[in-house]
């Protein structure tokens, strides 16, 4: 009986320790992508190396571009292509991207983020069967992240 009580106590203590380690990794962030939104698990995170996991919950391919900027309005957007012109961004403002990946899958990458404001967005655009341009950015696949 004493062994069973000790086993329960040890298992309970291990549960407390493991929950303190937690699944809420402060250096991680999840971005749920779908038609037509980017939803972050948190709108702010501490500066440093951050693992961003993009979860494509939509029915189309998506990507996730990370740019240092105060507002989506500050980005060099070309309406004729439906894309932010990444080559026109200052080199220090283009942080990186999770390249295009398929619907129903996840992709992760580590980014070194300094304190500031970042815009995360999908920069894919395609011409629909009826000839209209579908810009994921213009459709609303953009959000802001504050890094402290």
- Written as one string, the DSSP assignment of 11-32 is HHHHHHHHHHH-S--TTEEEEE
Lowest mean pLDDT among 22-26, 38-42, 58-62: 22-26
Q: Tell me, what DSSP letter sits at residue 34?
A: E
For residue 53, what are the contacts with CB-CB under 8 A and spacing of at least 6? 28, 29, 30, 31, 106, 107, 108
In order of 43, 64, 91, 133, 138, the CA distances from 129 in angstroms are 36, 25, 35, 9, 18
pLDDT at 24 over 90: no
Confidence band for 114, pLDDT divided at 50, 70 and 90: very high
3-state secondary structure of 5: helix
Residues 98-115 have a mean pLDDT of 98
pLDDT at 122 over 70: yes
So what's the pLDDT on residue 26?
A: 53
For residue range 46-102, what is the model confidence (pLDDT) as tens digits?
999 999 999 999 999 999 999 999 999 999 999 999 999 999 999 999 999 999 999
CA atoms within 13 A on the CB side of 107: 14
Confidence band for 27, pLDDT divided at 50, 70 and 90: confident
Is the pTM value of this prediction over 0.75? yes
Pairing of the two strands 116-121 and 62-68: antiparallel
For residue 129, what are the contacts with CB-CB under 8 A and spacing of at least 6? none
- Tell me how far apart the alpha carbons of residues 139 and 135 are, in angstroms, rounded to a whole number: 6
Confidence band for 8, pLDDT divided at 50, 70 and 90: very low
Q: Kindly tell me the number of DSSP H helices and DSSP E strands found in the chain.
A: 1, 13
Q: Which CATH class is domain 25-147?
A: mainly beta
């Amino acid at each position: 009986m004493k062994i069973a009580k000790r086993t329960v106590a040890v298992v309970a203590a291990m549960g407390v320790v493991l929950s303190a380690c937690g699944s809420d990794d402060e250096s991680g962030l999840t971005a749920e992508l779908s038609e037509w939104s980017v939803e972050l698990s948190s709108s702010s995170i501490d500066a440093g190396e951050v693992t961003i996991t993009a979860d494509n919950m939509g029915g189309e391919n998506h990507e996730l571009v990370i740019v240092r900027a105060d507002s989506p309005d500050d980005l060099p957007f070309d309406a004729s292509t439906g894309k932010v012109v990444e080559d026109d961004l200052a080199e220090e403002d283009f942080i990186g991207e999770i390249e295009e990946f398929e619907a129903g899958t996840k992709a992760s990458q580590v980014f070194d983020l300094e304190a500031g404001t970042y815009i995360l967005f999908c920069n894919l655009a395609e011409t629909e069967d009826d000839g209209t341009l579908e810009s994921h950015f213009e459709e609303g696949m953009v959000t802001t992240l504050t890094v402290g």
